Structure 1
Amino acid sequence: MRLSALFRVAVALLYGLGLSLASQAEENPASAPAATPQTPHIALLLPLQSKALGPSADAIKSGFMAGFERASSNALPYVVYPMADEGAEVVDTYQLAVRSGARVVVGPLTIPALKTLVDRQAISVPTLGLNTLSSEQPAPEKLYLLNLSGAAEARLVARKAWQAGLKRATTLALDSAVDQRMQQAFVAEWEKLGGTMVSQVNVPTVKPNYPSLKPMLAQCQCDVFFLATDATRARTIRPYLPPDVAVYATSQAYTGQIKSPANFDLRNLRFYDMPWLLQLDHPAVMIYSRSPVPLSLSNERLYALGIDAWRLAEKMLTHQSQQPLELDGVSGRLVLLPDGQFQRELTGAEIQNDEVRLLP
């Protein structure tokens, strides 16, 4: 880390990051003791000073603070360690947090930063990374991984469709990297389950010819379509699909509105999303405060991830490596797998006319 950046982080820890805690303490003195150097604490490492990642990092931080607000009176304080460039600063910032008393670290946010920590063998305390690693790079001991992976959601959708008795699938995806990853994950899981892949339809991102899908798919000989795309494209594609074939999608196809005329184009679509967005009146969701400022749908999900990150961090303080670790979270039911990854079980829903209805 550059000396100026290190100086800023050190000063923030000594003085400013006490501001983060001090402001919390003014609102809730019983649950937010002021932190001093070498005070045991939970560290939050995020690229808050990054122009590209700052808004996403800020949403996670705000959710993390909302989770802390519901903590017990004897909970450890948290300290925020902001970064501008996770790749250049992550090892120095991580080690600073540990030297300053961090018992658990939450972050970093990006795949390259996580890879750097693993490659440098820097993981020394229980750490909750907020992304994933490649399948060729297993998580070392003390590293746990929590994220909103679209590929993981696609695998979940494949399992749900299979459990519903469906056997023959056709996928539709644009030729973007995100859509292709979701499609590939669905196909791999579907074939692993024993399902038959009828076809994989790739729609051009530039000048797509959506009407041509209707005659192409009318004779698909499949019993389920998987839409590996976002809400805007899903709304455009859905009307061209045969009405008697089941349609499934990930949370990316959801507009975020429980009741809206925009849902008509997606009617009968089944999708899976977090309780934070689908079960607003659930007691376990209602106890956490919402963001005081409007958030985009993607940042609303990251806010919920931040809440669960705080809750998992508390559990990680006392977790033993061979023990199960689960959380009925607002971002989903979280279960720690043997590879260190938290699997999210999501809430199922179906769009009926203009309204989202929860699946039994």
Structure 2
Amino acid sequence: MSVSVDSLPQRSDIRMQWLQRLQGCPQFIALIAVLMLVGCSSPVSPPLASERTTVRPQASIDSTDIDELIIRAEQRPGADGNPLRLRAAEISLNNGDLSRARLILDSIVPPVDDPNQLRILQARLAIGTRDVSFALALLREVVSHQNEPSEETQLLLARLRSQAYLAGRSYLASARELIYIDHLIDGKQRAAHHERIFQTLLNLSARHLRSHAEEAITSGLRGWLSLASLTREYENDPMQQLQALENWGRVWRHHPAASQLPQGLATLSQLVANQPRVISIMLPLSGEHATSGRAVLDGILATHFAVSGPARIDVVDTTTGDIRELVAGAARQGAELIIGPLLRQRVTKLAQSPSLPVPVLALNRTSDGSGHPDLYQFGLAPEDEMRQIASRAWQEGHRNAVIISPATPWGERNARAFTDLWLQQGGNLVASTMFEDSQDYSDLVKGLLKVDQSEQRATDLRRITGERFQFTPRRRQDLDFILLLGNPSQTRSINPTLAFFYAEDIPVYSSSHVYEYADSRINVFDLNGIRFCDIPWKLNVTDRVREAIESQWDSAKGPLTPFYALGVDAYRIYPRLQQMKDVSNQRVAGTTGILKLNPNNTIERTLMWARFRDGKVIPVPMIFGG
């Protein structure tokens, strides 16, 4: 595939877009005033050598003011303004503003003094928009036009190729590009470079990593694959992982990674040495929340016995008693870690404590957003899902949202969370509506899409003209996607209604509540086309503990599924809490999602994506390395 830098669009439309964009800019107004004065003045002679002159400094090409660079580029004739445009495009890409970068690159006037500079910027834009094949073609063009690229250029091109492959989920190819340039990396940058290689490979399963290691030709690549393989294989058992790492070190003691281990592995021996010997599990095991509490407990104990955990487990029912007193009592009896409580108000009460005697891994988040240095908050918060839906919709180019949600506390909380996140990142909320369970969804959808207004216009026209004519109603045209919140029964009724009222071409997103685990194919046909995020457990990611739990308890395949998964992940992450705190990019592949600790001691979940298609759920593989 050949890419021509001369195949650039006409500039008239681009210029008009920029002028419209800059109309309210103070720099633009000031510049126009200066240009008018200059245009009206008569030519002047250069000053004599003896005269004092004051030269007003102009912004250099290194300026970071994009608007100023574009204005100055427009002052210059033809292609003379290209260096300024290229600089402005580079800044836009650095800022993550892809749409602005595209607009600027489209305004380039041929010919370009340095075509490779343009190709590299175009490749970066293509990577950002996940146009992987175009990005790689552009980078090949750069190589073909350079006889002996410098080390700096080799590093740049390899990193861009790695990013392109990563965007296309070609993880091995992405890591290989970085491994091949490892010898060119400065010692001070090598630690970060090794982290990048390692995190990229962790996107692959242990089985695939082992297979690729057996087929690898170079020892450098094979060593990295073996290291990533043992990490994934024993990620839920730190002690076995440490033993495997020590064995790897003996075999690969001359490998580049041996002298600069990834951070998560470099601290592994300390992590194993500091494991708690007594853990107190605090859950509601009687009363209103007993069913959820027992599901969490079963998940914890099943995981504990699966790895023959060395810690002693004490179980405390939190249905009665003050949670602070229960925690203090457990600490007096030797507990070195608390897992629980489960209820939101109890977690909030712990966060308000002046001090905690031992670290606490709470299984919910505080109601007021408060925190505590010794309190780790982990739960099934809907905010995680709303954050991910907002991010996904934005990445896919949508800006105008419509929300349909149930008139329940759950529906209100989710709709409010999504709205806040969507508006914060610059999105537009076109409309929002709530429904009752027994409501006629036809009237709701027709009004939301303004099909009723279209029908009314036709009725008015027939009345005015007295003529009978064929008429097809039209829906509103100002929306990019619909966020449909509800349970499977509700969404099965609303989704076909959206298609009936001419919204079949509008993307529909939903939360994990749209999919009931192990639902029949017949039940999901009416959900066709809906994109949703959910926990890996429900999307059949291979896990031996999950399979054992499902074979033991039928309830693990129903509404209680997330609580069993929460228990499994709580047990798996407790040994790594300090590691997750100390290593900023440390992640754990859990059954509730990819888990990462943020600076506020809250564990954030990245869920899997899936889509209903022809009565089936089609999962999208996760990106483990972020």
1:258–1:356 contact (8 Å) kept in structure 2:
no
Partners of 2:425 and 2:319 in 1: how far apart?
43
Local SS of the residue matching 1:120:
coil
Picking from 49, 62, 65, the partner of 2:301 is: 65
Deviation at 1:134, TM superposition (A): 3.1
1:308–1:330 contact (8 Å) kept in structure 2:
yes
2:592–2:605 contact (8 Å) kept in structure 1:
yes
1:346 paired with 2:607, answer yes
1:175–1:204 contact (8 Å) kept in structure 2:
yes
Partners of 1:286 and 1:117 in 2: how far apart?
31
Residues 293-338 of structure 1 deviation map (CA, whole Å, 9 limit, x = unaligned): 221633111001000001112223x548443353110111000011
1:211 paired with 2:442, answer yes
Moved more, 318-327 or 228-237: 318-327
Deviation at 1:269, TM superposition (A): 0.4
1:177 paired with 2:434, answer no
Deviation at 1:66, TM superposition (A): 1.5
Residues 4-59 of structure 1 deviation map (CA, whole Å, 9 limit, x = unaligned): xxxxxxxxxxxxxxxxxxxxxxxxxxxxxxxxxxx93111001102x200000000
Partners of 1:202 and 1:283 in 2: how far apart?
38
Aligned to 1:33: none
Picking from 292, 303, 306, the partner of 1:56 is: 292
1:261 paired with 2:485, answer no
RMSD: 2.2
Local SS of the residue matching 2:560:
helix
Aligned AA for 1:53?
H
1:70–1:288 contact (8 Å) kept in structure 2:
no
Larger RCO of the pair (alpha carbons < 8 Å, separation 6+): 1
Structure with higher strand content: 1
Deviation at 1:122, TM superposition (A): 4.7
Aligned to 2:485: 228
1:81 paired with 2:342, answer no
Local SS of the residue matching 1:194:
coil
1:213–1:240 contact (8 Å) kept in structure 2:
no
Q: Structure 2: give runs of 5+ residues left out of the alignment.
A: 1-275, 450-474, 622-626
Partners of 1:228 and 1:292 in 2: how far apart?
32
Partners of 2:613 and 2:520 in 1: how far apart?
10
1:293 paired with 2:553, answer yes
Q: Percent identity, aligned pairs only?
A: 27
Local SS of the residue matching 1:343:
strand
Aligned AA for 2:422?
W
Aligned AA for 1:297?
G
Partners of 1:163 and 1:284 in 2: how far apart?
34
Local SS of the residue matching 1:60:
helix
Deviation at 1:227, TM superposition (A): 1.1
Partners of 2:417 and 2:393 in 1: how far apart?
14
Moved more, 294-303 or 171-180: 294-303
Aligned to 1:32: none
Residues 218-271 of structure 1 deviation map (CA, whole Å, 9 limit, x = unaligned): 325211100122222111111111110000001011122365101011100010
Residues 192-239 of structure 1 deviation map (CA, whole Å, 9 limit, x = unaligned): 12111111112234x412011342223252111001222221111111
Equivalences, count? 315
Partners of 2:604 and 2:580 in 1: how far apart?
18
Partners of 1:147 and 1:220 in 2: how far apart?
38
2:318–2:341 contact (8 Å) kept in structure 1:
no
Aligned to 1:139: 371
1:202 paired with 2:434, answer yes
Matches within 5 A, 1:87-98: 88-98=321-331
1:275–1:285 contact (8 Å) kept in structure 2:
no
1:117 paired with 2:350, answer yes
Deviation at 1:84, TM superposition (A): 2.2
Matches within 5 A, 1:140-155: 140-155=372-387
1:284–1:330 contact (8 Å) kept in structure 2:
no
Partners of 1:229 and 1:285 in 2: how far apart?
30
Partners of 2:435 and 2:524 in 1: how far apart?
22
Counterparts in 2 of 1:332 and 1:323: CA distance versus 1, 3 Å: same
Counterparts in 2 of 1:342 and 1:94: CA distance versus 1, 3 Å: same
Aligned AA for 1:293?
W
1:43 paired with 2:300, answer no
Counterparts in 2 of 1:309 and 1:283: CA distance versus 1, 3 Å: closer
1:42–1:78 contact (8 Å) kept in structure 2:
yes
Q: Which TM-score applies when normalising by structure 2?
A: 0.48
Counterparts in 2 of 1:257 and 1:289: CA distance versus 1, 3 Å: closer
Partners of 2:518 and 2:580 in 1: how far apart?
40
Local SS of the residue matching 1:298:
coil
Partners of 2:323 and 2:519 in 1: how far apart?
39
The structure whose Rg is larger is 2
Local SS of the residue matching 1:171:
strand
1:42–1:313 contact (8 Å) kept in structure 2:
no
Partners of 1:285 and 1:357 in 2: how far apart?
23
Local SS of the residue matching 2:350:
helix
Aligned AA for 2:533?
Y
Aligned to 1:104: 337
1:174–1:202 contact (8 Å) kept in structure 2:
yes
Partners of 1:270 and 1:335 in 2: how far apart?
24
Q: Which TM-score applies when normalising by structure 1?
A: 0.81
Q: Structure 1: give runs of 5+ residues left out of the alignment.
A: 1-38
1:277 paired with 2:538, answer yes
Structure with higher helix content: 2
Picking from 483, 496, 513, the partner of 1:252 is: 513
Partners of 1:99 and 1:46 in 2: how far apart?
19
Residues 72-103 of structure 1 deviation map (CA, whole Å, 9 limit, x = unaligned): 55x31211112323xx3312211111111111
Picking from 175, 178, 188, the partner of 2:420 is: 188
